[in-house]
Amino acid sequence: MRYAYYPGCVSQGGTPELFTAMKAVGEALGFTLEHLKEAACTGAGVLQERDPELGDTLNARTFAMAEKRGLPLMTICSTCQGVMGQANYRLKADPEYRTFINKYLKPEGLEYKGTTEVKHFMWVLVEDYGLNRLKEHVRRPLTGITLAPFYGCYVLRPSKKLGYEEHPRRDTYLEQIITALGATPADYSGKTRCCGFPILTMNRTNSLRMAGDHLLEAQETGADAMVTPCPLCHLNLDGQQPEAAAVRKVQLNLPVIHLPQMVGVALGIEPKALGLNKHIVSTRAFAAKVPA
Partner 1 sequence: MKTVNLKVKRFDPATRKSKFQDYQVEVDDSAAVLDAIIEVREYQDETLAVRCSCRSAICGSCAMRVNGHAKLACMTKVSSVSPNGETIVVEPLGNAEPVKDLVADMGPFWAKVKQVQPWLKPSLPAPDREYIAPQEAMQDLVGAVNCIMCGACVSDCTVLEVDKNFIGPAALAKAYRFVGDPRETQTARDERLSQLSKYGGIWDCTHCYECVQVCPKDVAPMERILDIRRAAVAAGFRDNNGTRHSDSFARSVKHTGSLDEFRLLPESLGLDDIAAQLKFVPTALRAIAKGKVPSPLHHKRPGAEHVTRIFDEMEKE
Per CB under 8 A, contacts with partner 1 among 140-159 are: 153-154, 156-159
Q: Does 6 bind partner 1 (CB under 8 A)?
A: no
Determine which residue in the list 1, 9, 131, 273 makes contact with partner 1, applying CB under 8 A.
9
Residue from 2, 45, 111, 179 binding partner 1 (CB under 8 A): 45
The minimum distance between CB 287 and partner 1, in angstroms, equals 16
Q: CA dist 57 to 163, 169, 226, Å?
A: 21, 30, 35
How far apart (Å, rounded) are the C-alpha atoms in residues 271 and 264?
8
- Name residues contacting partner 1, limited to 99-118 (CB under 8 A): 104, 107-108
274 contributes a contact to partner 1 by CB under 8 A: no
Residues 208-267 that bind partner 1 (CB under 8 A): 209-210, 213, 239-240, 242-243
Least distance from partner 1 to the Cβ atom of residue 22, Å = 15
In one letter, which amino acid is 264?
G
Q: In angstroms, give the least distance from the CB of 292 to partner 1.
A: 26
Among 4, 194, 225, 252, binds partner 1 (CB under 8 A): 194
Question: Does 12 engage in binding with partner 1 (CB under 8 A)?
Answer: yes
| Binding status of residue 13 toward partner 1 by CB under 8 A | yes
CA dihedral 271, 188, 222, 151 (to 10 degrees): 10
Q: By the criterion CB under 8 A, which residues form the site for partner 1? A: 9-10, 12-17, 37-41, 43-51, 53-54, 57-58, 61, 82, 104, 107-108, 153-154, 156-159, 189, 193-194, 196, 198-207, 209-210, 213, 239-240, 242-243, 277-280
